[in-house]
Amino acid sequence: DSGVTQTPKHLITATGQRVTLRCSPRSGDLSVYWYQQSLDQGLQFLIQYYNGEERAKGNILERFSAQQFPDLHSELNLSSLELGDSALYFCASSVGSLPNQPQHFGDGTRLSIL
């Protein structure tokens, strides 16, 4: 158990819809990262928050947004969903943002768009 909690584990929805994925980081971790894993793109970094503030953006679409709340949990919002958004979405957390700090991953949310 990594200590990172993601809900829901599975999500099935239709094109055009909006969903929210939730992540609770490990106790004491201030950094939260979101990644998308798909068969064609592999594991791609989406966005990072550190102590409530956006720290970095990766390959995140404009239809996607995220935030980190004062209790440090984070939500990833995906809107106007397309078939290509079907993927496994991971949240990871680390104590800080230094290169030597490992990121611990949650079990992921598997999103299926029908």
Q: Which two tokens stand for residue 9?
A: 């584990």
Rounded Cα–Cα distance for residues 60 and 110 (Å): 17
* Interface with other proteins (CB under 8 A): 2, 33, 35, 42-43, 45, 48, 50, 55-58, 88, 90, 92, 97-108, 110
Rounded Cα–Cα distance for residues 92 and 101 (Å): 12
Closer of 18 and 54 to other proteins (Cβ):
54
Instruction: Give the nearest distance from C-beta 60 to other proteins in angstroms.
Output: 11
Instruction: Give the nearest distance from C-beta 83 to other proteins in angstroms.
Output: 20
Instruction: Give the nearest distance from C-beta 85 to other proteins in angstroms.
Output: 17
Q: 110 CB contacts (<8 Å, ≥6 apart)?
A: 9, 10, 11, 87, 88, 89
